């Protein structure tokens, strides 16, 4: 456990050298990755979403592809196409950018729903089916999607069912003044990125990932978890309660968080830490619409649930 903690701490420190002042977000992203979930980053352009994804890929030693989502993006542009080869007389599959270990799906809400669902199905299944043929995706497979705030013009907000497929949603926000000053005066980020060396090979990553489900979850903690789910379903503040899948997501995230803290068991604090990021995009207030404004209030309601 402690060696895992040391590894994670090193990773977080390295990443923080490049993405300044965002250690908590980096750790959350790592937790999401360890729990084999996908990450949705929702923020304004230019705050470092892409950099974060890139840094993660680098330090974890993962193969990295970036897909820029636009309104004319076709599913085939993501998944790949089969083209006819005259010389050989048959079709040859040209894999799309999805075939990589870490995908950065940039501005995912700019694409049409059809293109979005191509990506999301791949995320869910861990494989893609093209022209009747199923092709497995590499292992690990981790998608970081970025999204502009939905009220921006010309966007297709992801439907709730799709949002549920992301384990966590985080937003980066503006850097704090100290980090910003360092950013302004310091080296070019892209230069730093180039110099970044992987700290982990994929075997080590797989080992850590398998350790996540083995983190102990006591009955008392399950009680708390159920109280949270129950509260979301029962309370009148939410039009739709948390799904069982949301419950599992919460559990896995908390396990990963506990593991990163070097513990062999989950504490209520772990759940509380990941809670806003796991449930934020899954809750819907009862007064309809405008989920952004009351998301924080809704999460605060959940966070006030007593620990049994």
Partner 1 sequence: MAKQPDTRPGRFNLRRFLQGEGPEPGPILLTQNRVYILPTRHGVFFGLQLLVMLVAAVNYNNSLAYALTFLLSSLCLVAILHTYRNLLHVQVDVAHIPPVFCGDNLSAPVRLDNTRKGTRYAVGLQFPPQDPSRVDLPGDQCFHAGMSLPTQQRGRHRLGRLTLHTTYPLGLFRAWGHAQFDRHYLVYPRPDDYHPLPVTPSYHLNLSGDRGVGSDDFATLRHYHPGDPLRHVHWKIVARGQGLHIKQFGGDRAEELWLNWDDLPTLDTEARLSRLTRWVMDADTAQFSYGLKLPGSQIPLGHGPAHRHRCLKALALFGANTPDTGTAQTVAA
Partner 2 sequence: MKHPPQNLHQRLRRANHPRLWLLAGLALSFIPHLPRLPLLIIAPSVALLVWRLAHELALVALPGRFVRGLLTVLALAITFTAYHTLFGREAGVGLLVVMSCLKLMEMQQPRDITVVVGLGYFVVATVFLFDQSILIGLYMMLVVVVLTTALTAFNRGTAQPPRWLNLRQAGQMLLQAAPIALLLFLLFPRIPGPLWNLPDDSTAAGTGLSDSMSPGKISQLSNNNAVAFRVQFDTKPPPATLRYWRGPVFTYFDSKTWSNPDHQRRPGAPYQQPGFRAAGTATDYTVTLEPHQQRWLFALDLPSRLPLRSTLSREFELISKSPVYQLRRYDMQSYTDYQLDPASPPDQFRYLQLPNNAAPRARQLARQWRNRFANDADIMQQALQYFRQQPFYYTRKPPLMPGDPVDEFLFDRQRGFCEHYASAFVVLMRAARIPARVVTGYLGGETNPLGDYFIVRQSDAHAWAEVWLSGQGWVRVDPTAVIPPSRVEDSQDLQRIAPEAALTLAPPGWATRAWRQLGFGVDNMNHYWNQWIINYNDQQQMALLSGLFSYLGLKNIDWRDMVGVLAGGVTLVLVALALPLLRFRRRRRDAITAIYTRFCRKLARRGLSRNPAEGPQDFALRAILALPGNASAIVDISRRYQQLRYAPRPPTDGLRHFRSAVRRFRP
Which residues here bind partner 1, judged by CB under 8 A? 70-72, 74, 81, 83-84, 110, 112-115, 153-154, 157, 233-234, 236, 238-241, 286, 288-290
When asked if residue 83 is in the footprint of partner 2 (CB under 8 A), the reply is no
| Smallest separation (angstroms) from partner 2 to the CB of 277 | 17
Structure tokens at 179: 């980090």
Q: Which is nearer to partner 1, 71 or 210 (CB)?
A: 71
Q: Which does 289 bind (CB under 5 to 8 A by kind): partner 1, partner 2, none?
A: partner 1
Give the number of other Cβ atoms within 10 Å of residue 106's Cβ: 21
Structure tokens at 8: 């994670």
What is the bridge-based pairing of β-strands 127-130 and 133-136?
antiparallel
What is the bridge-based pairing of β-strands 64-68 and 102-106?
parallel
Q: Which is nearer to partner 2, 149 or 308 (CB)?
A: 308
Q: Is the dihedral of CA 161, 144, 38, 289 positive or negative?
A: negative
Q: Which does 303 bind (CB under 5 to 8 A by kind): partner 2, partner 1, none?
A: partner 2
Contacts to partner 2 from residues 262-281, by CB under 8 A = 264-269, 272
When asked if residue 24 is in the footprint of partner 2 (CB under 8 A), the reply is no
| Smallest separation (angstroms) from partner 2 to the CB of 224 | 9
Is 79 within 8 Å of 96 (Cβ atoms)?
yes
When asked if residue 204 is in the footprint of partner 2 (CB under 8 A), the reply is no
When asked if residue 1 is in the footprint of partner 2 (CB under 8 A), the reply is no
What is the Cα–Cα distance from 52 to 227, expressed in whole angstroms? Answer: 34
Assign 298 to helix, strand or coil. Answer: helix
Q: Which is nearer to partner 1, 216 or 233 (CB)?
A: 233
β-bridge partners, 128: 135
Question: What is the b/e burial string over 20-45, where b = at least 16 CB atoms within 10 angstroms of the residue's CB?
Answer: bbbeebbbbbbbbbbbbbbbbbbbee
Contacts to partner 2 from residues 214-243, by CB under 8 A = 216, 218, 220-221
| Smallest separation (angstroms) from partner 1 to the CB of 2 | 42
**Binding residues for partner 2 (CB under 8 A):** 216, 218, 220-221, 264-269, 272, 303-308
């Amino acid at each position: 456990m402690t060696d895992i903690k040391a590894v994670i701490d090193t990773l977080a420190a390295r990443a923080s050298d490049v993405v300044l002042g965002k250690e908590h977000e980096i750790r959350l992203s790592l937790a999401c990755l360890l729990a084999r979930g996908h990450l949705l980053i929702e923020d304004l352009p230019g705050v470092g979403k892409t950099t974060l994804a890139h840094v993660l890929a680098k330090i974890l030693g993962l193969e990295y592809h970036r897909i820029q989502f636009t309104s004319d993006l076709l599913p085939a542009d993501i998944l790949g196409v089969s083209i006819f080869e005259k010389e050989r007389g048959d079709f040859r599959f040209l894999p799309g950018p999805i075939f990589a270990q870490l995908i950065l799906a940039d501005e995912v809400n700019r694409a049409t729903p059809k293109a979005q669902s191509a990506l999301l199905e791949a995320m869910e299944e861990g494989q893609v089916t093209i022209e009747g043929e199923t092709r497995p995706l590499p292992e690990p497979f981790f998608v970081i999607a970025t999204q502009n705030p939905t009220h921006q013009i010309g966007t297709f907000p992801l439907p709730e069912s799709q949002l549920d497929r992301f384990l966590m949603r985080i937003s980066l926000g503006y850097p704090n003044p100290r980090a910003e000053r360092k950013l302004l005066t310091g080296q070019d980020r892209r230069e730093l990125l180039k110099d970044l060396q992987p700290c982990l090979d994929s075997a080590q990553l797989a080992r850590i990932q398998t350790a996540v489900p083995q983190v102990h979850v006591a009955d008392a903690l399950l009680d708390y978890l159920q109280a949270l789910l129950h509260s979301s379903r029962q309370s009148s503040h939410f039009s739709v309660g948390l799904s069982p899948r949301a419950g599992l997501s919460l559990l896995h995230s908390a396990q990963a968080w506990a593991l990163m803290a070097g513990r062999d068991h989950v504490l209520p604090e772990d759940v509380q830490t990941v809670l806003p990021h796991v449930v934020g995009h899954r809750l819907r207030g009862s007064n309809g619409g405008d989920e952004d404004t009351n998301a924080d209030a809704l999460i605060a309601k959940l966070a006030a649930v007593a620990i049994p």
